[in-house]
Structure 1
Amino acid sequence: MRIAIVINTSWNIFNFRMSLAKALMAAGHEVVAIAPRDAYSEKLVAAGLQYVPVEMENKGTNPVKDLLLIKQFHRIYKTVQPDVILQYTIKPNIYGTLAARLAGIPVINNVSGLGTVFIVKNLVSKVALALYKFAFQFPAKVFFQNNDDRELFLEHRLVSEQITEVLPGSGIDTVRFKPTENFSRNKDFRFLMISRVLYEKGIAEYVEAAKILKAKYPEIRIQLLGSFDEAGNIGIKKTVFLDWIKNGEIEYLGTSDDVASVIAQADCVVLPSYREGTPKTLLEAAAMGKPIVTTNVPGCKETVIDNQNGYLCEVRSGEDLAAKMEKVLLLPEEQLQQMGKASRQLALDKFDEKHVIGQYFKAIQQISERKR
């Protein structure tokens, strides 16, 4: 079969969907990556995928451009002629589904996070809900990354229950992401947050927690790894962000293609996000045996068994985040190590990518049988 994977960036395919793509190719399928061109497009080709570029704005909400996106997807799908299309992120899920319907090609959609649709209530979010409701009449399958998101879509009657299924996030490669051989606690205890610099990821709360903790424990390091993003009203202004760094509240590490090596040097991984699908960074941290502090919200809470492999904190509360981070900081070495081991076990039992890949193969097989 020829299978298309459609996402809003080539980077996303390379970093989050390559294990699935490789498993499909190993099973004898052709895999076509359809995404905007970026620095990772050629890496997809080098890995054995076919690549077709599409022009798509990640954050844009121009209705004319979005309608033209349907036309563009339809042209690509008619040219590529995939047997099934796997779509991720909001624009492929909506406009790609409508184009695939016109082209007569079955699709499997993945709601990997709700973005601002259910966080910010405005005209754009209302339009997005209406578009979801219309487009989601047509997929063969819709995967969700946590049950809260699935229930929210069902509550708003955006999708038929019988085509929905919950995946354990994107899954994690527990062979590639594994604990270092010898456990050692840093003398300058290191908290690490991995995220784009957006308010909805809880960056402001992380900085507030950093101020509280560094006033008491000046030797600790509170780090941030991730790309800068001033998009819309959710991006943090560069001047504000640079002031935080200048004042020493957080240590900015920039970006990296080797996230595992950065996680390996941390003592605890933190994500105070307002809502997620299931954050890949926390799955990576769990697989590498790191304690986790994250918010008690859909997507994030699935990665922590409170008081076993980390702590859940209140959303939008820098004070409570600081309190939970302090609890990790004050753990005796043996308890800190046990908490890391619990994270690793959770990753193996619940989030191993083999579970995700298996469910995709099953859904693709069902479509193949229906065609026959």
Structure 2
Amino acid sequence: MTERLLFVVNSPQFFLSHRLPIAMAAREEGYEVHVATARGGGCPTIESHGFVHHELPLSRSGRNLVNELRSFLALIQLFRRVRPSIVHLVTIKPVLYGGVAAQLTRVPAMVAAISGLGSVFVERSDSARLGLTRHLVQGAYRLALRHRNSAVIFQNPADRAALFSISAVRGGQDRLIRGSGVDLASCTYLEEPEGVPVVTMAARLLRDKGVWEFVQAARLLRERGLSCEFRLIGAPDPGNPTTITREELEAWREEGIVGLLGYREDVAAQYVASHVICLPSYREGLPKSLVEAAACGRAVVTTDVPGCRDAIEPDVSGLLVPPRDSLALADAIEELLVDPERRRAMGAAGRRLAEREFAIEQIVAGHLAIYEELHLNVG
């Protein structure tokens, strides 16, 4: 009987950008591949690749209990209808809801991909409300990851340690795969362009990504009279409570402090046209944007937080700064802009790091090995 692999991901765009090569390789290995996501513009593209697509009522926020129950029940119904041999759960809600649903419906094997632990692990407030939310989320992880034949994939050691510390993961269940990989052939490694140095940030436009600090760093360097150009790639995420608003973007546009490029699919080309890549995020799994920056041979300035620090070699391929510190961010960017020789050496080191650790072939092989291991456990 053909083994059936079902991916459950919050959005079709995330599946296409972060899991498509794995799904295609699994199909080559003989799996019948299904993909379940919320509604979105990428759904026809998923189907065009020959995968069976299922639409789920997954909302971005978790504030409406009726909607959350509806999402959970839809997953149970989907698992009973598709009868997958393996479910591969990606992003927070699919992991939490799908993990429980997989146990209730007796799915033979489960893979949970932890690509970040969510805002409750980032917020520093000691409010009672946040404390209760964090307690509930921790309990949900413990419940969701109890599947007897499962693997939990982490992208960085800090996230793994966090879930071990709350007894959500048992020994032997964890795997460490550094990110979603990068196609080295599509990330061209070229010499830096001539002209005014360009500093680029590509991310969802959220406060948690450090967008405010990036803009403030641009202001500080303008005040210092440094000749450079800041570019911001990405779009707001209205379903996320920390999104940058349209009004804020319009104010920045009028100020002229950063170039707002919006959502782009040619991020690698934008990196090649840049001199320094920046991501001042508060916490990540292992950001694909920094992996692509390394592959393009560009020096990086990012924050000393889980995920970000794991995507570079500190002081070799990039610089680390404290999170939420626009002054330190501006200082580090300036350090690289005024020292082209060091900057280019860091870019070359980044490319070597990408070739050694982040090649998509290596990432795909790691996932296929986990599928095979779980399949043998069923047998």
SS of structure 1 residue aligned to 2:120: coil
**Counterpart AA for 1:4:** L
SS of structure 1 residue aligned to 2:264: coil
Match of 2:63 in 1: 61
Match of 1:344 in 2: 351
Hey, which bits of structure 1, 4+ residues long, moved more than 3 A?
A: 230-233
Q: Kindly provide the CA deviation profile for residues 245-284 of structure 1, in whole angstroms up to 9, marking residues without a partner as x.
A: 2111211101112222212211111000000000001101
Deviation at 1:289, TM superposition (A): 0.7
TM-score calculated relative to the size of structure 2: 0.93
- Say whether 1:309 aligns with 2:317: yes
Match of 1:111 in 2: 114
Q: Distance in 1 between matches of 2:297 and 2:345?
A: 9
Q: Distance in 1 between matches of 2:296 and 2:91?
A: 27
TM-score calculated relative to the size of structure 1: 0.95
**Counterpart AA for 2:11:** T
SS of structure 1 residue aligned to 2:262: coil
- Contact kept in structure 2, 1:192 and 1:225, CA below 8 Å: yes
Deviates most, 111-120 or 315-324: 111-120
Q: Kindly provide the CA deviation profile for residues 84-131 of structure 1, in whole angstroms up to 9, marking residues without a partner as x.
A: 010111111011111111111121000101120201251333321111
Match of 2:73 in 1: 71
**Counterpart AA for 1:119:** V
- Contact kept in structure 1, 2:188 and 2:272, CA below 8 Å: no
Deviation at 1:158, TM superposition (A): 1.7
- Contact kept in structure 2, 1:230 and 1:238, CA below 8 Å: no
Deviation at 1:218, TM superposition (A): 5.3
- Say whether 1:285 aligns with 2:287: no
Deviates most, 52-61 or 211-220: 211-220
- Contact kept in structure 2, 1:168 and 1:355, CA below 8 Å: no
Match of 1:148 in 2: 158
Aligned residue pairs: how many? Answer: 369
**Counterpart AA for 2:27:** M
Q: Distance in 2 between matches of 1:309 and 1:32?
A: 38
- Say whether 1:136 aligns with 2:145: yes
- Contact kept in structure 1, 2:60 and 2:240, CA below 8 Å: no
Deviation at 1:237, TM superposition (A): 3.0
Q: Distance in 1 between matches of 2:76 and 2:238?
A: 31
Deviates most, 323-332 or 55-64: 55-64
Q: Kindly provide the CA deviation profile for residues 275-320 of structure 1, in whole angstroms up to 9, marking residues without a partner as x.
A: 0000001101111111110001100001222221111111110000
Match of 1:362 in 2: 369
Q: Distance in 2 between matches of 1:118 and 1:163?
A: 21
Match of 1:15 in 2: 17
Deviation at 1:336, TM superposition (A): 2.7
Q: Distance in 2 between matches of 1:302 and 1:199?
A: 21
Q: How does 1:110-189 map to 2 (within 5 A)?
A: 110-120=113-123, 122=130, 123-138=132-147, 140-180=150-190, 183-189=191-197
Q: Kindly provide the CA deviation profile for residues 54-105 of structure 1, in whole angstroms up to 9, marking residues without a partner as x.
A: 1101223323322222210011111112110101111110111111111111
Deviation at 1:335, TM superposition (A): 3.1
Match of 1:27 in 2: 29
- Contact kept in structure 1, 2:282 and 2:305, CA below 8 Å: yes
SS of structure 1 residue aligned to 2:208: helix
Q: How does 1:227-266 map to 2 (within 5 A)?
A: 227-231=235-239, 233-266=241-274
Match of 2:7 in 1: 5
- Say whether 1:353 aligns with 2:364: no
SS of structure 1 residue aligned to 2:121: coil
Q: Kindly provide the CA deviation profile for residues 200-243 of structure 1, in whole angstroms up to 9, marking residues without a partner as x.
A: 11111111111111222453110100011344541223322321
- Contact kept in structure 1, 2:8 and 2:35, CA below 8 Å: yes
Where in structure 1 are there 5+ consecutive unaligned residues? none
Match of 2:224 in 1: 216
Q: Distance in 2 between matches of 1:289 and 1:29?
A: 35
Where in structure 2 are there 5+ consecutive unaligned residues? none
Deviation at 1:2, TM superposition (A): 1.2
SS of structure 2 residue aligned to 1:97: helix
Match of 1:84 in 2: 86
Q: Distance in 2 between matches of 1:64 and 1:164?
A: 33
**Counterpart AA for 1:339:** M
Match of 1:44 in 2: 46
Deviation at 1:353, TM superposition (A): 2.3
Could you say what the CA RMSD is over the residues aligned between the two structures, in angstroms? 1.5
